[in-house]
Structure 1
Amino acid sequence: MRIQVTRSGGVLADEYRAVLDTQGRPDAPHVHALAREAVGACTRTPTFGIPAGYHYAITLDDRATGHCADPQLTASQRNLIALVLSQGG
């Protein structure tokens, strides 16, 4: 599975994108379940949280994109975003 997270907004209104490919990862089944749960809790249109907060777009395998924003992230969204932004390229 290819998971892409795009983070935008923040104080500097910057954009950062990371992609994590789960092929060959020993934890792939866990990451896939986390990704499905996270995207399932997203909205289909961009959503906005607090002023100067981050907004996230999560795309699985180049399919439909889910949107979420701080501070309303679920635990699965927060964990998936942290994983992809820290380990993705």
Structure 2
Amino acid sequence: MLIVITRTGGFAGRERTGSADTHCRPDGAELERLAERALSAEAPSAGRPVADGFFYSVHIDGKVIELRDPDLTDEQRRLIEAVLGEGA
């Protein structure tokens, strides 16, 4: 499974992209589980955008979901952290 995440927004407005091929990682099975849950999760009710908040474009094997802080599920946050290599 190929997972590509692009983060935009934030205070500096810088874009960051990370990717993970689950077949090449020791935590691949866990990432696949998180990705499947992230895709199937109901979108939280959209509140007001947060100033300097992050927006995420998550591409998982041809499917795309758009997410934003602070409206992330725990699985979505863990997936983002694992693929981008930092806290979401």
TM-score by length of 1: 0.81
Paired residue for 1:36? 36
1:11 and 1:25 map into 2 onto residues whose CA distance is 31
Gaps of 5+ in 2: none
Deviation at 1:11, TM superposition (A): 1.0
Alignment of 1:6-85 (within 5 A): 6-41=6-41, 49-61=49-61, 63-85=62-84
1:42 and 1:2 map into 2 onto residues whose CA distance is 22
3-state SS in 2 of match to 1:83:
helix
Q: Percent identity?
A: 35
Letter of the structure 1 residue corresponding to residue 56 of structure 2: Y
Q: In the comparison of the two structures, how many residue pairs are matched?
A: 82
C-alpha RMSD over aligned residues: 1.9
3-state SS in 2 of match to 1:14:
coil
Deviation at 1:42, TM superposition (A): 6.5
Deviation at 1:72, TM superposition (A): 1.0
